[in-house]
Amino acid sequence: MTTPPLTLYLAAPRGFCAGVDRAIKIVEMALEKWGAPVYVRHEIVHNKFVVDGLRDKGAVFVEELDECPPDRPVIFSAHGVPKAVPAEAAEREMVYVDATCPLVSKVHIEAARHHENGLQMVMIGHAGHPETVGTMGQLPEGEVLLVETPEDVAHLDVRDPEKLAFVTQTTLSLDDTAEIVAALKARFPAIVGPHKEDICYATTNRQEAVKAMAPDCDALLVVGAPNSSNSKRLVEVGARAGCRYAQLVQRAADIDWRALEGIRSIGLTAGASAPDVLIEEVIDAFRARYDVTVETVTTAEENVEFKVPRVLREPA
């Protein structure tokens, strides 16, 4: 039986970023050092496959610190935690390791610095997302105003328009965020902030790669989880860049083959928390149905690496 030809455009960079790689290593090294069970507050990264794999090795995932026994180590997820969380762990004399991505910690430090300088903070982010909760939780309750859209900016009720600063979530849409920043600067010309926003290199590079290939793709699949902010943004970016069908899939079993009928090309990328094995699984599923030619679309090279915390590099 002959299979129809298909060009598969593979985005590069795609998949794991340095912060995810480090966070997963932290859980694995903690299990090696202290043995099972090691507790993890929140999904270490937003991927079921990764979480299930670590659970099999002895990690126990919980949402709150009070679900952990005080005599077992606990790890905080890559997304960051409010200041109250490590404070409570210390009070309970727990061993804890913070797997917050260093690029998220950088935003925490910025927010605290602005606050110390007497500036009121505005955060651009998604309400309820753990990173937003963690960053807002660096300052006392009520000190950070959240905006999600340019419309929200019009409704901001600030203490002093001359004493304002902003930070952002690291995994937002570059284009949406630029609009919100522009709205903030238009209404509050004195607002202080990062050069553009706090979106990380991995989010930026994955969105740029999708933008470059989307116009040439009959359809686009993003491997990632429904609770993964950066993965969901890749779907939106692809659709906006001109791809008629852009869909998030957790793995090959999620692919809606009927919706893909008649395509001659497909774009494939993966969020920062999606492991390579799932991308390979999707490529194999296409190879089983099509005569696939893979073309890699490279828009950036990445060589970022973050060290794991010292406590894990030392012998037990």
CB of 21 to ligand SF4, least distance (A): 8
CB contact set of 187 (below 8 Å; sequence gap of 6+): 153, 154, 156, 161
Among residues 131, 261, 302, 305, which one is catalytic? 131
Q: Establish whether 230 is an annotated binding residue.
A: yes
Residues that bind ligand SF4 (CB under 6 A): 17-20, 78, 101, 103-104, 170-171, 200, 202-203, 230, 272
Q: Establish whether 228 is an annotated binding residue.
A: yes
What mask, x for binding ligand 0CM by CB under 6 A, covers residues 231 to 250? Answer: x-------------------
Q: Work out whether 13 is an interface residue with ligand 0CM (CB under 6 A).
A: no
CB contact set of 159 (below 8 Å; sequence gap of 6+): 120
Q: Establish whether 265 is an annotated binding residue.
A: no
Among 228, 252, 266, 275, binds ligand 0CM (CB under 6 A): 228
Q: Which stretch binds ligand 0CM (CB under 6 A): 82-90, 241-249, 269-277, 283-291?
A: 269-277
Q: Work out whether 205 is an interface residue with ligand 0CM (CB under 6 A).
A: no
Known catalytic membership, residue 131? yes
Q: Work out whether 229 is an interface residue with ligand 0CM (CB under 6 A).
A: yes
Q: Establish whether 129 is an annotated binding residue.
A: yes
Q: Work out whether 85 is an interface residue with ligand 0CM (CB under 6 A).
A: no
Q: Establish whether 217 is an annotated binding residue.
A: no
Q: Which residues in the 149-188 window bind ligand 0CM by CB under 6 A?
A: 170-171
Omega prior to 86 cis, within 30 of 0: no
Known binding-site residues equal: 17, 46, 79, 101, 129, 170, 200, 228-230, 273
Annotated catalytic sites, by residue? 131
